[in-house]
Structure 1
Amino acid sequence: MKKDKKRTVEHCLVIDIGSLARANILSNDCHGTWVWRDDDNAVTSSAEYQHNQGIFTLRFASNDQNKVQNIRISTTPCNYGNHRYWFTCPGENCGRRIAKIYFVDGQFLCRHCHKLNYLIQQCSKRYVAQLNMQRMRIKLGWPLDHDQVPFIKKINKPLNKHHKTFRAMVDKHDEYERQHNATTMALFNAFIDRLDRFKES
């Protein structure tokens, strides 16, 4: 019997605590509306939020019901001063310290409580390198519709990235690209071999 695929994090609404911190939402008594947008920048979903004394409160509608969910927020010190924020998963018997919460079945929990996989865990091995390469291009802001990334983009560092971080990301992309090209060539050669055998039979 074929095993059913799990839901993936890529297909869920997600709140990243890093995004909240960068938007200065984690100051006391901060409130507003958090929105999710599609690829055309159109709003697809929204939730009202409020943060006060380490409690992040979400108010949203699900299945025609108004819901309220309280999620505790904690901090840990960073090596170079300041601190890092974390959600504490409100799932039953969980309490994991996490950076992202996902919306499934009417509540925001960690991916473990929702039993979510990453898309890459479900795709065929032949597509893993290609998927990793494309994800790295998205992070770097590079086009997906080109077989080869223009060289100029590999040397022009974005303003929001440290040079060392940018160089490491480019090297990782290039390695994924080499793996993808090798897989493509191996599949092509295997196809040619099968075609030759078919002609000989």
Structure 2
Amino acid sequence: MGRYSYSNRRTVEDCKTITTMFLNEHNYFDGDVRRGGMNWSRNGEETGSIGYEVSTIGSNEYIRFQYTQTDRNTDEKTKLDYKARLTWTPCNFGGRRWWFVCPLVIDGRTCNRRVSSLHLASGKYFGCR
């Protein structure tokens, strides 16, 4: 039995999300530049799509997001193209665990939290919780 929702606040389950686990499972962290895309849907209807580029060459490690966002009130389209840094930590039994560095700017300061997933809520940019 589920509990009653008493808040209008969005949850991460309602957001478009990209994770380092997904990128790792699809071999994006192989020491090269790889491009891809992702689509989201709800009830069989596409709700969004993005293109991205992942670079894990040397010390220039990043994910670049490219997508168009449409304002639901005005139908105005905005093209977005920005990067979020990637970093990694060593795993106990070898290999690397990859992380996003949150690119959101809040009150004039970049968040810079190390996170495994970035979410696109009601704003224009992907960021951490």
Same fold (TM over 0.5): yes
Q: Which blocks of at least 5 consecutive residues in structure 1 are unaligned?
A: 112-201
- Equivalent in the alignment of 2:125: 107
Distance 1:5 1:32 in 2: 33
1:103 partner letter: L
Give the partner amino acid of 1:30. R
Find out whether 1:88 has 2:101 as its counterpart.
yes
Higher relative contact order (CA 8 A, sep 6+): 2
The Cα shift of 1:6 comes to: 1.9
Q: Separation in 1 of the partners of 2:42 and 2:27? A: 23
Q: Which residue of 2 aligns with 1:21?
A: 24
CA contact (8 A) 2:101 2:112 kept: yes
Deviation at 1:4, TM superposition (A): 5.5
Instruction: Report the Cα offset of residue 33 of structure 1.
Output: 1.5
1:57 lines up with 2:64 in the alignment? yes
Equivalent residue pairs, number = 108
Alpha-carbon distance in 1 for matches of 2:124, 2:83: 13
1:34 aligns with 2:49: no
The Cα offsets for residues 122-174 of structure 1, whole Å up to 9 and x where unpaired, read as xxxxxxxxxxxxxxxxxxxxxxxxxxxxxxxxxxxxxxxxxxxxxxxxxxxxx
CA shift at 1:43, angstroms? 4.0
**Within 2, Cα distance between the matches of 1:55 and 1:14?**
17
TM-score by length of 1: 0.50
Q: Which residue of 2 aligns with 1:6?
A: 9
Q: Distance in 2 between matches of 1:43 and 1:20?
A: 21
Greater per-residue strand proportion? 2
Report % sequence identity. 28
Say which of 69, 84, 87 aligns to 2:82.
69
Deviation at 1:16, TM superposition (A): 1.0
Question: 1:78 maps to which residue?
Answer: 91
Q: Report the AA paired with residue 53 of structure 2.
A: Q
Q: Which residue of 2 aligns with 1:158?
A: none
- Calculate the TM-score normalised by the size of structure 2: 0.75
Q: Which runs of 5+ in 2 are unaligned?
A: 1-5, 71-76
Equivalent runs, 1:136-151 vs 2, <5 Å? none
In structure 2, C-alpha distance between the alignment counterparts of 1:20 and 1:11, rounded to whole Å: 20
Q: Give the secondary-structure state (helix, strand or coil) at the position aligned to 2:37.
A: strand
Looking at structure 2, the residues matched to 21 and 103 of structure 1 have their Cα atoms a distance apart, in angstroms, of: 20
* RMSD (Å), alpha carbons: 1.9
Distance 1:45 1:25 in 2: 21
Aligned to 1:177: none
| Structure whose alpha-carbon radius of gyration is higher | 1
The structure that is helix-richer by fraction is 1
SS at match of 2:126: strand
Q: CA deviation at 1:75?
A: 0.4
2:18 & 2:43 partners in 1: Cα distance?
17
